[in-house]
Chain A
């Protein structure tokens, strides 16, 4: 039986600028992980706890890691699999999110993403050959996936991608684990901008910058700007905040620009009016799912988000900004605390 060596964990770097709070960053899950914690003397044990959670999630649910549990399932000829408790939870959350969003997020977009070229860790994604674009069409659909306890039934040819909820779930798990490990104060964990907090926040909440776009959208222009301003700073006292954007993780395939948020109805990148959506929720998995669903929902996004009651900020390709659910208009404003209804 082949032995899968755990991937090498990059070291954390301290980047804090205030004595009251420790902040550390490292690469993780194809993006960056960031941990902020007070009091700062609990940082070492908190980082160990975060490392353990991220490693677990990577080994359970990364479709880019050949030895991960989900990759082995994709390669297996069997259709029914007994999965680990952690993967069962991750798939269960993805299916629940699909149901909640009316299919605007869907974990069965894995094959569509791979066909579009996002079939490896994003740092390795390159331009595909011209004319290699797949025929547009709906993905298999989350209803074709069955999860009963730890038994997962997956139709032939269906590949799961837990991107709409996976990082959020990872942030939830890591924040809870870090806070338990440190035992006091409060902690914030960000995975590529999907943020969960646990424990007591600093006075007024954790200050978090919200960005509307990344430099990615300017990279193909000559004389690209050195910086893009963040749109707003908000304060997060509890729960989570996640942002989905079509401006990051872009690549070109068959002469077309692609991004990583696939519309399950077409199997192609979503083409709605919103370029970036930020959502606050009780957990980061929910915030992550809601933000991604809003990008896919397009013109219906604001109404759908308003129906959920979640605070959200939608930024359009045309520069228009829409705030719903009590998202603060002021810079430095505190996000409403969201509780389960």
Chain B
């Protein structure tokens, strides 16, 4: 009989029994998932803290800028491995608006340019009499 046909080998000295090994493996998996969940929670709390911190610091009516802006006048570099995406991947236009738009280059345009996109409303978004 070929040894590979044997159903399983007996555990060696100091090795856990197969059932015990499976239980340990399951426990390791659970611990891994719990660790991931904890990191997820930590990241979410951090993101919330950014929002809450901003809203707490910013004050209505103040003329002191509550945020710092940095302009990007130089052309973007694509040598960092980041892809060049030329077609708009989303539209921001209020709820329920989607768009298709022609391709553009990666570099910010310096001119006004032609109006680029066509916007369609999802069926049923407008409920008129």
Chain A residues engaging chain B, CB cutoff 8 angstroms: 16-18, 20-21, 23, 25, 30-32, 34, 36, 38-39, 89, 92-93, 96-97, 99-102, 122-123, 125-127, 167, 169, 172-173, 176-177, 180, 186, 188, 190, 192-195, 200-216, 219-220, 227-231, 233, 235, 237, 241-245, 247-252, 257, 260, 276, 278, 281-283, 285-286, 289, 304, 306-311, 325-326, 328-334, 336-341
A249: which B residues are within 8 A, CB to CB?
A: 94-96, 125
Known contacts A203-B82, A286-B55; decide if A195 and B116 are in contact (CB<8 Å): no
Known contacts A102-B61, A208-B90, A230-B91; decide if A203 and B76 are in contact (CB<8 Å): yes
Q: Is B44 an interface residue when CB atoms closer than 8 A count as contact?
A: yes
Beyond A32-B96, A308-B65, 15 additional pairs, beta carbon < 8 A: A20-B83, A21-B89, A177-B44, A193-B95, A202-B85, A206-B89, A208-B89, A214-B96, A214-B125, A219-B121, A289-B55, A326-B69, A330-B110, A336-B70, A336-B71
A250: which B residues are within 8 A, CB to CB?
A: 126-128
Residue of A nearest to B67 (CB): A309
B16: which A residues are within 8 A, CB to CB?
A: none
Count of interface residues, chain B, beta-carbon cutoff 8 Å: 78
A188: which B residues are within 8 A, CB to CB?
A: 89-90
* A-binding segment of B1-9, B17-25, B27-35, B99-107: B99-107
The answer for the CA separation of A252 and B54 in the assembled complex, in Å, is 37
Q: How far is the CB of B37 from chain A (nearest CB, A)?
A: 11
Q: Could you list some 26 contacts between A and B, CB below 8 A?
A: A17-B87, A18-B83, A21-B89, A25-B98, A32-B122, A36-B89, A100-B58, A193-B91, A206-B85, A214-B121, A216-B126, A220-B128, A227-B120, A233-B101, A233-B116, A235-B108, A243-B92, A243-B94, A248-B121, A251-B127, A281-B67, A283-B50, A311-B69, A332-B105, A336-B70, A341-B68
Q: How far is the CB of A246 from chain B (nearest CB, A)?
A: 8
The answer for the CA separation of A126 and B72 in the assembled complex, in Å, is 46
A-B interface contact total, Cβ < 8 Å: 327
Contact A202 B84 (CB under 8 A): yes
Chain B residues engaging chain A, CB cutoff 8 angstroms: 39-40, 43-44, 47-48, 50-72, 75-78, 80, 82-99, 101, 104-122, 124-129
**Does more than half of chain A's interface fall in helix, strand or loop, or is it mixed?**
mixed
Q: How far is the CB of A162 from chain B (nearest CB, A)?
A: 13
Q: How far is the CB of A312 from chain B (nearest CB, A)?
A: 11
Q: How far is the CB of A110 from chain B (nearest CB, A)?
A: 17
The answer for the CA separation of A328 and B69 in the assembled complex, in Å, is 12
Q: How far is the CB of A44 from chain B (nearest CB, A)?
A: 17
A17: which B residues are within 8 A, CB to CB?
A: 87
B58: which A residues are within 8 A, CB to CB?
A: 100, 308, 341
Q: How far is the CB of B15 from chain A (nearest CB, A)?
A: 34
Q: How far is the CB of A82 from chain B (nearest CB, A)?
A: 19
B85's contact among A20, A30, A123, A211, by CB below 8 Å, is which? A20
B109: which A residues are within 8 A, CB to CB?
A: 330-333
The answer for the CA separation of A304 and B111 in the assembled complex, in Å, is 28
Contact A308 B67 (CB under 8 A): yes
Contact B116 A215 (CB under 8 A): no
Known contacts A89-B48, A283-B47; decide if A126 and B89 are in contact (CB<8 Å): no
A283: which B residues are within 8 A, CB to CB?
A: 47, 50-51, 54
Top 4 nearest A-B pairs by Cβ distance? Answer: A211-B93, A245-B94, A309-B65, A230-B117
A125: which B residues are within 8 A, CB to CB?
A: 127
Contact A36 B90 (CB under 8 A): yes
A286's contact among B51, B87, B99, B115, by CB below 8 Å, is which? B51
Residue of B nearest to A340 (CB): B54
A242: which B residues are within 8 A, CB to CB?
A: 92
The answer for the CA separation of A233 and B51 in the assembled complex, in Å, is 26
A126: which B residues are within 8 A, CB to CB?
A: 127
The answer for the CA separation of A23 and B121 in the assembled complex, in Å, is 19
The answer for the CA separation of A304 and B53 in the assembled complex, in Å, is 19
